[in-house]
Structure 1
Amino acid sequence: MSLPATFDRIGTIAASLRAESGSAEMDLAYVWYETARAMLTPARLAADAARHSLGNPGNPLAYGPYARSTAAALEMFERVTRRYGKPAFGLPTTVIDGQSVPVSERVVWERPFARVIAFDRALPVGPAEPQPKLLIVAPMSGHYATLLRGTVEAMLPNHRVFITDWSDARMVPLFDGRFDLDTYIDYLQAMFRDLGPDLHVMAVCQPAVPVFAAVALMEAAGSADVPVSMTLMGGPIDTRRSPTAVNCLAQERGMGWFEKNCITVVPPLYPGAMRRVYPGFLQLSGFMAMNLDRHVTAHTDMFHHLVTGDGDSAEKHRDFYDEYLAVMDLTAEFYLQTVQTVFVDHALPRGRMRHAGRPVDPSAIRRCAILAVEGENDDISGVGQTKAALDLTPNLPDSRKAYHLQDKVGHYGVFNGSRFRSTIAPRIARFVREMEAGA
């Protein structure tokens, strides 16, 4: 589509939204965002072309300090104004018993708002012990499941790994229905049934509450497909413990503020047109604002790396921010119900959480083992919030409960980075093996 046509189409969005809502006061945040992005597109493309020209070895001007500085500035502009697409997992191999083996991806479960990806490994030739099945439940909090690439990579050598790949709400048509916290829990229970038996589950951050609830509901129903264990990592089971700035915001603002300031409508440019969402660009703004100085410093360093020709450091920056800046939209009903249930009402630890009218009873958990993992410096889920899961399950034997507090890591370090690879991942693997043997 040509740029003028794009502007013409964006110009019709406001009228379309007003006609749909019957109100001239509908939040048009998505429209303004898309308009600004379209207006910057010519400048971004020109900057990218000029950058490549200045970096061309055949250009005699490319070797001077002025050209390097200009090319660096142009790249920074192009990256800041770019919309980042969904990254790939990019895990072609893993190492099993000292041998490098190929890895392929396969979709084994799918619904409109999610699918489950299996990482199939070509196991080394010869007798081998069966490895546990591990479903990693990725957070639905703005980033794609590929944010857990390092998590998957660390678990691949010793587990048959699956991961939830949540859909971007702006890409799901309205006729596919709603998706709220109850639907999320329904999806989890269906995954557990279809991937079982003998399934182990790892919930990273946000899904700790719905995973816990799904297991409790299945235990209460006497299901034979209850997972053998669940590992809850940096999750908001009880946000009254060591509340962080994120937790306090929900209490201070109230639900009316979130609905008014965080919810908008997908414009007609996307398959999910007219769906009410919490857009990824707002979530990203919140992420960036929490550690603004760190991000400014990182981009300043990136500029200097480009000017001085430090390609390795610049590439590390690109890799991280290509992932970090790729965001997805969440359905409004899921976002608002989660804020209300988890952060405002504290419904799970207070014994008041319900799913489709049925009570979620943590005391029903008697078989599924629990490992709670927390980070000492976590500024999203404070210390004690995930550990609360162990206190809420009085009928689960102590032999099937475990706790790990990792020193010197923040929220991201709970599931990625050097300490995750060297300490946390082996601790999870040991717990899974122990529970597998005792199941």
Structure 2
Amino acid sequence: MLYQIYETNRAWLSPFSEFASAASKLYSNPLSPFAHIPASQRVSAGFDLAHRLTKEYEKPEFDINKVNVHGVDVVIQEQVVEAKPFCRLLRFKRFTDDAAMLARMREQPSVLVVAPLSGHHSTLLRDTVRTLLQDHKVYITDWIDARMVSLDEGAFHLDDYINYVQEFIRKVGPEVHVISVCQPTVPVLAAISLMASRGEPTPLTMTMMGGPIDARKSPTSVNNLAMNKSFEWFENNVIYKVPQNYPGAGRAVYPGFLQHTGFVAMNPDRHATSHYDYFLDLIRGDDDSAEAHRQFYDEYNAVLDMPAEYYLDTIRTVFQEFSLVNGTWEVRNPQGKKELVRPQDIKTTALLTVEGELDDISGSGQTKAAHELCTSIPKTRQKHYDVIGAGHYGIFSGRRWREQAYPVIRDFILSHNKVKKAA
């Protein structure tokens, strides 16, 4: 019922949002007589803010059209490599007429970025992808909003997520380097563990960034909610059916609007201050600061619904039973057989863990715990790095990502890429 109420409210607000947008332009366009009355900038700014607080935010585009690779501008084409009901595997194909650069790019490592399925779209990792493209062939998982997936496609469990990751690793090839950001660190470690246990080729490296490998360590408010509420509480309070106006009508989901409410509730004062600063920037005519605000919130406010069974599996497995670290996690493969997840079976894949010093979503030590589980990886092929001064988003986006985290990841991948090829 809550989902239907939300949709009704959104429909009611939509005309007001459009009116606010038009009114803002009416009081700011220099050709409009209203733009020359006293306090017109303040009125325009107020309507603009009202528009942004009430509008619907669609999934953003990656919008990566070109990137500079060692001094050469390279054209980027976004390609769908594999399309599955709940996810697309994208490649950002690089093109150039510079023969020397083309030959150089062909020798660069392939990287599979496993994006989170935890509320935001994979475009949240736009800066991650853009930076990686300087030195790598880049693929990324683009998870599909569950409300857009027909019930005919069946359920999507955490086990299915793991099976998807394994398929994508095989698709890219045995010399791939895998980077998982936040939520997928756990299923990615499971996927690679299962491949190792079966004797399959595993990725050259796996980089785990800000994820809850062991959520018992330095628990945050996010962890505490998942650990202190019963499993039944989540079933009864956050799971709703998709309304009839979407292709996935009737599918049980954890709605994006509830997740967004939770995101904002973690730092309400910060968001209120940010919106007020945006209002002041509009009045002052500080277009650069105003545009930076728009770009951030266009991404931050665009959320997706998660399949209920996947979300509940994650709550139980990762945050309540701690199945990975307790060695009790069994995953159902595509043939329906259950296999025990054994990280200790990984031997040839090098491991890098990255944490943010100020991360308030995945606490200190949670990601680093992967080293305690992967006991068969030689210590010379393991590394941990703390990004000083970075919060959760800072480890994969922004200045600290580009200047601190990325050079470490790039050098780690390159060094183990060479080791593997020489072997």
TM-score category of the 2 structures, normalised to the smaller one: over 0.9
Q: Which residue of 2 aligns with 1:419?
A: 400
2:404 pairs with 1:431: no
| Offset from partner CA, 1:378-415 (integer Å, 9 cap, x none) | 01111110000011111111111111011111100111
Structure-1-length-normalised TM-score? 0.92
CA distance in 1 between counterparts of 2:227 and 2:404 reads 35
Match of 1:158, SS?
coil
| Structure 2: gaps of 5 or more residues | 333-337
Shift of 1:194: 1.1
Q: Does 1:360 align with 2:341?
A: yes
Inter-partner Cα distance in structure 1 for 2:167 and 2:145: 20
Does 2:7 match 1:34? yes
Output the CA distance in 2 between the equivalents of 1:262 and 1:324.
20
The offset of 1:367, in angstroms, is 1.2
For 1:3, the equivalent position in structure 2 comes to none
- Partners of 1:163 and 1:259 lie apart in 2 by 30
Asked if residue 269 in structure 1 is aligned to residue 242 in structure 2, the reply is no
1:88 aligns with 2:88: no
Give the one of 162, 166, 170 matched to 1:185.
162
Q: Does 1:306 align with 2:282?
A: yes
Residues 16-415 of structure 1: matches in 2 within 5 Å? 28-123=1-96, 124-126=98-100, 127-128=103-104, 130-224=107-201, 226-356=202-332, 357-415=338-396
2:295 and 2:367 mapped to 1: Cα distance? 30
Q: CA deviation at 1:65?
A: 4.2
Give, as a single letter, the amino acid of the residue that structure 2 aligns with 1:365: I
* Stretch of structure 1 that moved more, 97-106 or 231-240: 97-106
Percent identity of equivalent pairs: 47
Superimposed CA distance per residue, residues 11-56 of structure 1 (whole angstroms, 9 cap, x where no aligned partner): xxxxxxxxxxxxxxxxx11100000011112222222222221122
Amino acid at match of 2:362: S
Question: Following TM superposition, by how much is the alpha carbon of 1:62 offset from its aligned partner in structure 2, in angstroms?
Answer: 0.4
Mapped to 2, the partners of 1:272 and 1:214 lie a distance apart of 28
For 1:328 and 1:82, the matched residues in 2 are separated by 16
Residue aligned with 2:134, SS: helix
Amino acid at match of 2:99: V
* Aligned-partner Cα distance in 2 for 1:119–1:211: 21
Offset at residue 182 of structure 1 (A): 0.2
2: CA distance, partners of 1:406 / 1:97: 25
- Classify 1:322/1:65 alpha carbon distance in 2 versus 1 (closer, same or farther; 3 Å): farther
Please state whether the residue corresponding to 1:286 is helix, strand or coil: helix
Q: How many residues align?
A: 411
- Distance in 1 (alpha carbons) for counterparts of 2:321 and 2:92: 38
Contact 1:341–1:353 under 8 Å retained in 2: yes
Call closer, same or farther: CA 1:65–1:371 in 2, change over 3 Å.
Answer: farther
Q: How far has the Cα of 1:338 moved from its partner?
A: 0.2
Offset from partner CA, 1:63-98 (integer Å, 9 cap, x none)? 344211111111111111111001011111111121
Task: Measure the CA separation in 2 of the matches of 1:296 and 1:35.
Answer: 25
Counterpart of 1:54 in structure 2: which amino acid? Y
| Contact 1:65–1:307, Cα closer than 8 Å, also in 2 | no
Q: Do 2:26 and 2:34's aligned partners in 1 also have CA atoms closer than 8 Å?
A: no
For 1:141 and 1:158, the matched residues in 2 are separated by 28
Separation of aligned partners in 1, 2:387 and 2:16: 46
Shift of 1:197: 2.1
SS at match of 1:157: coil
Per-residue CA deviation, residues 255-282 of structure 1 (Å, 9 max, x unaligned), is: 1111111100000000000000000000
Q: Can you list the C-alpha shifts for 1:124-170, whole angstroms capped at 9, x where unaligned?
A: 32242600000000000110000000000111010000110000000
Once residues 97 and 296 of structure 1 are traced to their aligned partners in structure 2, the CA distance between those partners, rounded to angstroms, is: 40
- Once residues 242 and 410 of structure 1 are traced to their aligned partners in structure 2, the CA distance between those partners, rounded to angstroms, is 15
Distance in 2 of aligned mates of 1:41 and 1:138: 31
Structure 1 unmatched runs, 5+: 1-27
CA distance in 1, matches of 2:85, 2:358: 36
The residue type equivalent to 2:254 in the other structure is Y
DSSP-derived class of the 1:395 partner: coil
CA–CA distance in 1 between the matches of 2:44 and 2:268?
Answer: 25
Other structure's SS at 1:128 match: helix
- Distance (Å, rounded) in 2 between the aligned partners of 1:273 and 1:234: 34
| Partners of 2:37 and 2:387 in 1: CA distance | 48
2: distance between equivalents of 1:32 and 1:152?
A: 37
Alignment TM-score, normalising by the size of structure 2: 0.96
Name the SS for the 2:293 alignment partner.
helix
